[in-house]
Amino acid sequence: MKPAAFGPTPDEPSAGLQHAWRDYTAIVGGQAASLALGLLGVVLATRLLGPGGYGRVALLLAVLQLLYVVVVHWTMPAVVRFGREDLLRNAPGGRVLGSWLMVAGSASLTAMTFALWMPTPLRDFAGLQAGEETLVPVLLVAVAAAGGAEQLLQMTGRMGAYAAGRALGKLAFCFGLTVLVLLGSGQGRVDRVVLLMAGGFAVQALAALAFLPPSLLSSISVDLRLVRRMLLYSAPLVARSAAGYALDWIDVYWLRVFRSIAEVGVYHVAYRWMTVVAELLAALTILTFPLLTGWRAVGSEASVRRYFDRVVPQLSVAWSLFVAGLGLGGAFIPAILGPGFHEVSRLFSVLLVAAAFQLAIYAYLPLFSSHDLLGRATLIVLPMLLLNLLADLLLIPRLGAIGGAIATALTYAAGAGLHVLAGNRPLGLRQASALVPPCLAAAALGVQGLGVPLAVQGAAFLLAATALLAWCKVRGIFAPGDLALLDRIGLPRPLRSAIGRAFAILS
């Protein structure tokens, strides 16, 4: 059957598409800068702290994230969800901001209170030493402020400022670490590294204020009915946030129980780099959430179906090739990290399997949010969490950090399948093409994770890439009719021509 073309439809919000390329370029550019700076920050921190000190940072961040994700973060998507609706109706958005601040402020105050009077067992777990009691509350305030600023920039469509703010915050963090390295005054000082983290988030939050429209800030008011709607909308996110937190940190918890703090540090470096790579996918979510919301607002479900039927599998192909190629760089990691981090290269390759499958997850999350299906999204995370927990219990005591990496890869592979299945059902779609590319990438990354010579890793990558491109031609993943969407986005002519040639070869 010939795939449906992306021809224009009269009821689509064309303005969203007209600005899509500009927004996407700004977001990806900022995310790429954040990726590079994030990697640099990890390198500098490992050289300052070593495996044991970096393990303490990881444990402190585990406690911080417990407070932020479970208590605060679940309130934040509501400002984009309802703020975009207000802006589409030409309202200033002040009532959304004021109502959201009431919800988010109450949650933040709760988290701050707990952080200041943290139970002793939790302090011991985090490895907090005398004089470090205020590190978690200070970092919590900075992270919450930066997270709120990001939501407001997404709400108002300031995508370039969103991307630039993230990069600017990481730049400030890296600058501070560089100063410590040059002065030789930061060796083993976990407290100084954590305070520099807080400073980076504070810079990010302050930078956002300059880009928010004055009308938004001057029209702040509280609508109690809207507050109630926000709470009802966000309530399912409490469980999802808690389960998502557990997915991110359960490996660290079990490594803390069964292994050493130094091994926690080694694992967290690899995991942090994997998440930095996966953060590039946030550009996809940030761009498509307003677009899908707009399509739904005007009743253009056909556009939503075409997007998930055609575009998402194409993105999965490109992302899987990128991630599998990135795994080859793991061979050079030991040369740039401090002593004791040689195992990071193998861990990073295995964890990139999880990153490959996250394309499907990031692609479908905006569908659940824009179509008010957050409860369904929450249910998906529960079996993922159970699988991760069981796999960790089986593998970490025997294999250590590499067992945690394998458990994470298996968990996200299963989670991607569940997201595609649950997302396709309301759209009437039955294909699961978005899952094939990460499966082929996983084969190459698995070989890379064995620590074999670089030539063998390269051969595995070429074999997987050849199989993937052959599958694309057989299944018709790329078709000339799909290029009609690009005509409406307004790509630069050279890039449009290059993509057209690639489609012609692959279709």
Higher pLDDT, 2 or 460: 460
Residue 23 has a pLDDT of 61
pLDDT band at 14 (very low <50, low <70, confident <90, very high): very low
> DSSP H helical segments within 259-373, as ranges?
261-278, 282-297, 301-306, 312-327, 344-370
Residue 68 and residue 258: Cα distance in Å, rounded?
Answer: 26
Q: Coil, strand, or helix at residue 479?
A: coil
Q: List Cβ neighbours of 343 (8 Å cut-off, separation of 6 or more).
A: 266, 401, 402
Query: Which residues, in sequence order, are CB contacts of 275 under 8 Å at separation 6+?
Result: 248
Q: What are 355-371's pLDDT values in tens digits? A: 999 999 988 877 776 66
Q: Output 367 or 199, whichever has higher pLDDT.
A: 199
Q: Are 433 and 316 in contact (CB under 8 A)?
A: yes
Angle at 290 between CA 415 and CA 278, to 5 degrees: 40
Does residue 4 have a pLDDT over 60? no
Q: What is the DSSP letter of 186?
A: -
> Which of the two residues, 227 and 404, has the higher pLDDT score?
404
Predicted pLDDT at 382:
85
d(CA 198, CA 313): 38
pLDDT at 148 exceeding the cut of 70? yes
Helix ranges, 328-435 (H): 344-370, 374-399, 401-427
Token digits of residue 406: 């394998």
What are the extents of the domains in the chain? Answer: 14-475
From residue 386, how far is each of 355, 389, 408 by CA, in Å?
19, 5, 12
- The size of the chain, in residues, is 507
Kindly report the pTM of this predicted structure.
0.76
pLDDT in tens, 88-102: 676 667 788 888 888
Q: Where are the beta strands (DSSP E) in 185-283?
A: none
Structure confidence at residue 9 as a pLDDT band (50, 70, 90):
very low
DSSP 106-123: HHHHHHHHHHHT--HHHH
Contact at 8 Å (CB) between 212 and 157? no
Which residue type is seen at 264? Answer: V
Task: Average the pLDDT over 414-420 and give the result.
Answer: 92
Instruction: Give the residue from 69, 98, 365, 371 showing the smallest Cα distance to 230.
Output: 98
Give, in order, the Cα–Cα distances in Å from 459 to each of 152, 327, 344, 466, 467: 46, 13, 22, 11, 12
Contact 478, 503 (CB under 8 A): yes
pLDDT the model gives residue 341: 86
Please state, as a whole number, how many other Cβ atoms lie within 10 Å of the Cβ of residue 217: 14
